[in-house]
Amino acid sequence: MSNTSVRFLAHCQICGNEQKVRNGRMVSHGYQRPWEGSGNMGDCGGVGHVPYEVSCDRLKELVVEEQSHQAALNESIAQLKSGAVTEIRVYWTEGFGRNKRQQSKLAQKVNCVEHEWDAHVRGEVIRFERLIKNSKSAVLFFNDRISSWKPGTVKETTEAVISAEKRKVQSDRSAAKKAERTAKKAEASEKQKTAAEKRKVAEAEQEVARQGFIQQIKELAAKKAAGGNVSAAALELARKMGLKKNFNWLIINQLGVNDELLALGLAKVSKNHMNLGKDYLCYVAPLQGGQWLA
Helix or strand (DSSP H, E) at 40: strand 40-43
| Least gap, CB of 44 to Zn ion (angstroms) | 3
| Residue (14 or 264) nearer to Zn ion, CB | 14
| Least gap, CB of 261 to Zn ion (angstroms) | 59
| Least gap, CB of 78 to Zn ion (angstroms) | 33
| Residue (47 or 243) nearer to Zn ion, CB | 47
| Residue (44 or 230) nearer to Zn ion, CB | 44
Q: Which residue type occupies 150? A: K
| Residue (15 or 121) nearer to Zn ion, CB | 15
| Residue (15 or 230) nearer to Zn ion, CB | 15
| Least gap, CB of 33 to Zn ion (angstroms) | 10
Q: Return d(Cα 235, Cα 283) in angstroms, integer.
A: 11
| Least gap, CB of 17 to Zn ion (angstroms) | 6
| Least gap, CB of 35 to Zn ion (angstroms) | 13
DSSP 8-state secondary structure symbol assigned to residue 48: T
Q: Please list the alpha-helical segments (H only) found in 96-163.
A: 114-147
Instruction: Summarize the chain as % helix, strand, coil (round to 5).
Output: 55, 20, 30
| Residue (16 or 123) nearer to Zn ion, CB | 16
Q: Looking at the DSSP assignment, which residues form a beta bridge with residue 91? A: 104
Q: Which residue type occupies 116? A: E
Do residues 161 and 1 touch, judged by C-beta distance below 8 A? no
Do residues 51 and 11 touch, judged by C-beta distance below 8 A? yes
Other beta carbons within 10 Å of 190: 10
Q: What is the tally of helices (H) and strands (E) in the chain?
A: 6, 10
Do residues 77 and 129 touch, judged by C-beta distance below 8 A? yes
Helix or strand (DSSP H, E) at 5: strand 4-11
| Residue (47 or 285) nearer to Zn ion, CB | 47
Terminal-to-terminal C-alpha distance of the chain: 81
Binding site for Zn ion (CB under 5 A): 12, 14-15, 31, 44, 46
Q: Please list the alpha-helical segments (H only) found in 148-163.
A: none
| Least gap, CB of 21 to Zn ion (angstroms) | 12
